[in-house]
């Protein structure tokens, strides 16, 4: 990959390729090109003060994320949302930042409901000593956060990611970046509505079930956490007309 650093003129940051990727990705997701053709590589290079190789690499990365399509003699065009890779952490982050959407959060938590309880049940069966230690450490961070000794948001995310890892299933572990990205928005949203940070007792129930090697109880406890989130989102949608 051809990565250039900024000389201070482009405004894209030190890493020009990723700076341009971030800028164009946000523009695409926010609809900047809904009624306009996507610029040519030459126009993008001129506008942002970067080389053609940097522009080409950023466009290639956006194409891999499903946001763009480049065809010979047809140029580069923005793709419909249906083709976007929603499992890509950048795409999901841009979507969540585009316009706060309880509907999108509901859909994400529906995915969580299909994955995390199963991962908790697997962790209760398969977690090794390191996996259990990471779960214990994540919960300890959540306890510390209650006393202002850690960041509550990061601690909560660390707990959930530890369970995905401890499941022993590499496919679940691959959801790590996706879950971390969306959880950051989801937790902020639910905490703002309910006026508190994560329910320690509920998370402790998941931890205890995993440590006790009780898959059914671990599954139920994790499903209860996500169910509470879904209820908060449903109430907010009802109160504000969707």
Q: Are 26 and 97 in contact (CB under 8 A)?
A: yes
Q: What is the mean pLDDT of each run of 10 residues along the chain (242 residues)?
A: 47 78 94 92 94 94 96 88 92 82 86 95 97 98 94 94 96 90 84 76 97 98 94 83 60
pLDDT number for residue 13: 53
Q: Are 85 and 29 in contact (CB under 8 A)?
A: no
CA dihedral defined by 201, 204, 209, 213, rounded to 10 degrees?
-170
Closest listed residue to residue 221, CA positions, set 109, 118, 131, 105: 118
* Domain ranges (residues) in the chain: 1-99, 100-239
pLDDT number for residue 3: 45
* CATH for the 1-99 domain, from 3.40.50.720, 3.40.50.1820, 1.10.3730.10, 1.10.10.10: 1.10.10.10
- C-alpha–C-alpha distance, residues 5 and 178, integer Å: 28
pLDDT number for residue 14: 55
- CATH number for the segment(s) 100-239: 1.20.120.530
DSSP string, 57-113: HHHHHHHHTTSEEEETTTEEEEPPGGGS-TTSHHHHHHHHHHS--HHHHHHHHHHHH
* Strands (DSSP E) found in the chain: 68-71, 75-78
Q: Are 160 and 179 in contact (CB under 8 A)?
A: yes
pTM, 2 dp:
0.81
């Amino acid at each position: 990959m051809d990565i250039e650093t900024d000389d201070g003129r482009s405004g894209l940051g030190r890493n020009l390729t990723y700076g341009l990727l971030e800028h164009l990705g946000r523009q695409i997701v926010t609809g900047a090109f809904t009624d306009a053709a996507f610029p040519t590589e030459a126009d993008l290079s001129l506008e942002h003060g970067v080389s053609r190789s940097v522009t080409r690499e950023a466009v290639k990365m956006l194409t891999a994320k499903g946001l763009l399509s480049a065809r010979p003699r047809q140029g580069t065009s923005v793709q419909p949302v249906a083709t976007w890779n929603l499992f890509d952490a950048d795409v999901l982050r841009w979507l969540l930042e585009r316009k706060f959407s309880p509907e999108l959060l509901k859909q994400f938590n529906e995915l969580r409901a299909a994955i995390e309880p199963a991962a908790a049940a697997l962790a209760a069966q398969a977690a090794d000593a390191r996996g259990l230690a990471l779960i214990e450490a994540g919960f300890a961070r959540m306890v510390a956060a209650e006393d202002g000794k850690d960041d509550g948001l990061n601690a909560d995310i660390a707990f959930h990611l530890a369970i995905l890892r401890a499941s022993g299933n590499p496919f679940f572990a691959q959801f790590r970046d996706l879950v971390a990205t969306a959880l950051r928005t989801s937790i902020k949203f639910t905490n703002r509505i309910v006026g508190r940070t994560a329910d320690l007792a509920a998370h402790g129930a998941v931890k205890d079930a995993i440590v006790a090697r009780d898959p059914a109880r671990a599954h139920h406890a994790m499903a209860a956490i996500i169910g509470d989130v879904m209820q908060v989102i449903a109430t907010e949608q009802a109160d504000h007309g969707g």
